[in-house]
Structure 1
């Protein structure tokens, strides 16, 4: 029996959360080793596990993988969540790159001072409502299908749901002007593997708190 994928990261969302989402959506069980000290981080570097000195790090199929985008692409392809051909894959790439941009803005805001954080959140909400969500609403309207690409569940659907839920944590009624996205959220949330991941007690991480921010700053020394 193949070993479970092992994820090395902080005990929080960050860049690892989309990887957790993708594995969970694929129905793949995984283990986690949380980095909580500078010494632990330096040991991973010394052991040659961090190609560019950065996490996330995922141990899978006899490999130690770094770089978020590369990890996500590998997992999506491995678990048949990456479209049927190059044309579908490039659309998935466009959509996931867009949602990742939005999620990174939210994740970075957590490390800002309170005043700057609130200003950043306001700008994020503006962009979500005027740039990102209208785009996905139009995509769903134009092709009239249940999923974003090829009428088949893919990495693009998983990451869009993750982004929607992150934005809703900042502004719960944000989808009120986007009925197709609202229906999409309900539809994707009820896929059994996703529904399980959304339940209390799963390996999904909560929004970053002050403890998480402090641990990351201490370990990475910034």
Structure 2
């Protein structure tokens, strides 16, 4: 539609735009809450998580000097702005998941953000015991566990070789 990727063919449709695709898949597979209120909460958490992921995603594009500053920024934003929010949500909600009592798109987005953050700062969860438990629990859901195994479809973090190759294309 906009001559860009991602584009997914699903249920006879060609869908574009990441959030539209993810919203559709979440709804199709019962990962988008039971009502409008839950969907609004899921959307809030997903958007906050995506903000954190945006800070992490730019890291591989930076010069070595900029990377050092960006690591400090990732750690600072994650540990003072984003992770405390999710720690409190889990504590206040008293459930195994961010919204309701079953896995949602928000949980999946958060586990990916946690994994991305840990790839940059391995101790990022050290001050967040509920998020440590959340990560372990969500990572052990059979389909997620399989996806996180080496050789799965989950892309590894970009290394210097990949970044260098992409710059010349």
Write the distance in 1 (CA, Å) between the matches of 2:49 and 2:81: 11
Write the distance in 2 (CA, Å) between the matches of 1:217 and 1:62: 35
Q: Which residue of 1 aligns with 2:3?
A: 53
C-alpha deviation, 1:211, in angstroms:
3.8
Match of 1:197 among 147, 155, 161: 147
Q: CA deviation digits over 1:105-161, x for unaligned, max 9?
A: 211121111111221121111000000000000000111110000111111111101
Q: CA deviation digits over 1:43-73, x for unaligned, max 9?
A: xxxxxxxx22322221212222111111110
SS, match of residue 59 in structure 1: strand
SS, match of residue 3 in structure 2: coil
Match of 1:92 among 42, 47, 64: 42
2:85 is aligned with 1:159: no
Q: CA deviation digits over 1:13-72, x for unaligned, max 9?
A: xxxxxxxxxxxxxxxxxxxxxxxxxxxxxxxxxxxxxx2232222121222211111111
| C-alpha RMSD of the superposition | 1.4
SS, match of residue 151 in structure 1: coil
> Which runs of 5 or more residues in structure 1 are unaligned?
1-50
| CA separation of 1:104 and 1:171: change in aligned 2, threshold 3 A | same
C-alpha deviation, 1:167, in angstroms:
0.7
Q: Which residue of 1 aligns with 2:71?
A: 121
Q: Which residue of 2 aligns with 1:26?
A: none
Runs of 4 or more, structure 1, over 3 Å off, are 214-219
Match of 1:103 among 48, 53, 56: 53
Structure scoring higher RCO (CA < 8 A, sep ≥ 6) equals 1
2:135 is aligned with 1:185: yes
2:160 is aligned with 1:210: yes
TM-score (norm 2): 0.94
Match of 2:92 among 107, 127, 142: 142
Q: Is the 8 A contact 2:71 2:121 kept in 1?
A: no
C-alpha deviation, 1:214, in angstroms:
4.0
Write the distance in 1 (CA, Å) between the matches of 2:58 and 2:78: 15
| CA separation of 1:217 and 1:66: change in aligned 2, threshold 3 A | farther
* Matched pairs, number: 169
